[in-house]
Amino acid sequence: MNINFFTEGTNYAIKDKRAIRNLINEVILKEKKQLVNINFIITDDENMLKINEEYLHHDTYTDTITFFYNEKKKEVNGDIYISIDRIRENAKTYKTSIQKELVRVMIHGTLHLCGYEDKAEEDKKNKMIIKQEKYLESYN
């Protein structure tokens, strides 16, 4: 039962790891899931583009890509890649801090591991975003 933080291709230092771990654990418990392992890998746009092209066949930048390793429906087990470059841009766009935007995307990836989809029909996408924002409020 681990939540790990790594950097790949960037020297960004993640702040407030204990509070983030507590929040991610809270999300998983409230979603009635069981944490096995989550690796948050902070990287840059170029690495994310390579991952996006290789595994998803998309030639675009993105803020997060989630890989599932769940063996059972109730488990939360996977890797969440996050582009710190996109996080910085999003923070400017949404007029928020880099830290808050990073945590928002971490919650987003965790909700994917819990079974939520944002590429689904609009109602399901909205449900995921509403949950994401509610959990983000508890981080503040």
pLDDT tens-place string over residues 88-118: 999 999 999 999 999 999 999 999 999 988 7
Distance CA 137, CA 104 (A): 10
φ and ψ at residue 78, rounded to 5 degrees: 175, 180
Distance CA 127, CA 117 (A): 9
Residue 128 CA: distances (Å) to CA of 23, 53, 65, 96, 113: 16, 25, 16, 20, 12
pTM reported for the whole predicted model = 0.93
Q: Over 90: is that where the pLDDT of 71 sits?
A: no
Task: Write down the pLDDT at residue 40.
Answer: 98
Task: Write down the pLDDT at residue 118.
Answer: 76
For the domain made up of 2-139, give the CATH fold: Collagenase (Catalytic Domain) (3.40.390)
Task: Write down the pLDDT at residue 70.
Answer: 86
Q: Over 70: is that where the pLDDT of 122 sits?
A: no
Q: What is the pLDDT of residues 8-67, one digit of tens each?
A: 999 999 999 999 999 999 999 999 999 999 999 999 999 999 999 999 899 999 999 999
Task: Write down the pLDDT at residue 76.
Answer: 97
Task: Write down the pLDDT at residue 123.
Answer: 63
CB-based contacts of 106, cutoff 8 Å, min separation 6: 20, 24, 40, 80, 82
